Amino acid sequence: MSSDSDIEVLGFDHAALSVSDLEHSHRFYADVFGFNRVEDDFRMSEHGLHGRVLINPAGVRIELFEQRGSRPRQRLDPTVAAMQQGWFQFALSTKDIETSYARVVAAGAAPLMPPRIAPDGRTLFAFVGDPDGNLVELLQRRPPV
């Protein structure tokens, strides 16, 4: 249903992550997920903030923020994290979840939930924790039969 007051959403633009070490997190996301292109690198000195927008070859964006005085996130099991209202994870699509999961874990991600079949019976999913405890879901979607 559409009306004149609907906002036309063109797509999801990016996810933003608070990190303890911008350079370390940049290397992790570049080496593991291919976020090699820097679209923007900026500072908001009055807030002690340094940010960087990264893009992977598929055009997916993430924004990393290092802020003086930020506190580490408690690493949670994905099912426990869902008990807290608000944003708790982001998902990245992959063609081969088994290989992707193994590679991400070998690169230093915390193995939180190995690949398994989602309740829809088609999609495969897994969870890892990045170096700062952010939950990253890996998805391999299979077409409906």
Residue among 104, 132, 115 at smallest CA distance from 33: 104
Q: CA 7 to CA 44: how far, in whole Å?
A: 30
Consecutive H or E run containing 90: strand 89-93
Domains of the chain (ranges; CATH) run: 14-67 (3.10.180.10), 78-140 (3.10.180.10)
Q: Which two tokens stand for residue 24?
A: 């370390």
Half-sphere exposure of 34 (CA within 13 A, CB side): 9
Position 79 scores a pLDDT of 78
Residues 6 or more apart in contact with residue 117 via CB below 8 angstroms: 123, 124
Q: Which of 92, 94, 102, 106 is nearest to 135 (CA)?
A: 92
Q: What is the pLDDT of residue 2?
A: 55
How far does CA 23 lie from the centroid of its chain? Answer: 16
What is the C-alpha separation between 24 and 28, in angstroms, rounded? Answer: 6
Tens of pLDDT along the chain (145 residues) come to: 556 668 877 788 899 999 999 999 999 999 999 999 999 999 999 999 999 999 999 999 999 999 988 888 776 778 777 777 667 789 999 999 999 999 999 999 999 999 999 988 899 999 999 998 899 999 999 877 7
What would you measure as the largest C-alpha separation in the chain, in angstroms? 54
